[in-house]
Amino acid sequence: MMRLLSIETSTQVCSVAIHQQGELIAFRELREPRSAASQLAPMIDAIMIESNTQPTMLGAVVVAAGPGSYTGLRIGVATAKGICFALNLPFIAVNTLDLVAQQGKELISNKASLLCPMLDARRMEVYCKLVDFNLDEVEPTQAKIIEATSFNEYLEKNPIYFIGEGATKCREIIAHTNANFLDDVVPNAAHLGKMGYRKWMQQDFEDTATFEPFYLKDFLIRKPTAS
Report the pLDDT value the prediction gives residue 219, as an integer from 0 to 100: 44
Q: Would 220 be classed as within a structural domain?
A: no
Which residues lie closer than 8 Å to 176 by C-beta, 6 or more apart?
151, 152, 155
> For 173, which DSSP code?
H
What is the C-alpha separation between 154 and 178, in angstroms, rounded?
9
Question: Do 117 and 74 lie in a common domain?
Answer: no
Domain count for the chain, please give it: 2
Query: Strand pairing partners for 196?
Result: none
Q: What Å distances lie between residue 217 and 67, 98, 225, CA to CA? A: 9, 18, 23
Report the pLDDT value the prediction gives residue 221, as an integer from 0 to 100: 41
Query: Strand pairing partners for 163?
Result: 117, 182
Mean pLDDT, the chain, integer: 92
Question: Do 115 and 163 lie in a common domain?
Answer: yes
Q: In whole angstroms, how large is the CA radius of gyration of the chain?
A: 18
pTM here is 0.91
Q: Would 153 be classed as within a structural domain?
A: yes
Instruction: pLDDT band for 222, please (50, 70, 90 cuts).
Output: very low
pLDDT at 35 over 90: no
Task: Please report how many Cα atoms fall inside a 13 Å half-sphere around the Cα of residue 71, on the Cβ side.
Answer: 12
Instruction: pLDDT band for 90, please (50, 70, 90 cuts).
Output: very high
Query: Strand pairing partners for 181?
Result: 162
Contact 108, 114 (CB under 8 A): no
pLDDT at 223 over 90: no
What is the C-alpha separation between 62 and 7, in angstroms, rounded?
6
Report the pLDDT value the prediction gives residue 148, as an integer from 0 to 100: 93
Neighbouring CB atoms inside 10 A of 167's CB total 29
Quote the domain boundaries for residue 83.
3-95+187-201
CATH of the domain at 70: 3.30.420.40
Report the pLDDT value the prediction gives residue 143, as an integer from 0 to 100: 93
Per the model's pLDDT, the better-predicted residue between 224 and 136 turns out to be 136
Contact 5, 83 (CB under 8 A): yes
Question: Do 86 and 127 lie in a common domain?
Answer: no
DSSP string covering 36-65, please? HHHHHHHHHHHHHHHTT--GGGEEEEEEE-
Per the model's pLDDT, the better-predicted residue between 222 and 100 turns out to be 100
Question: Do 115 and 141 lie in a common domain?
Answer: yes
Question: Do 112 and 83 lie in a common domain?
Answer: no
What is the average per-residue pLDDT within 11-15? 92
- Residue closest to 188 by CA, chosen among 74, 49, 94: 94
Residues 93-125 have pLDDT tens digits of 999 999 999 999 999 999 999 999 999 987 889
Question: Do 41 and 146 lie in a common domain?
Answer: no
Question: Do 84 and 191 lie in a common domain?
Answer: yes
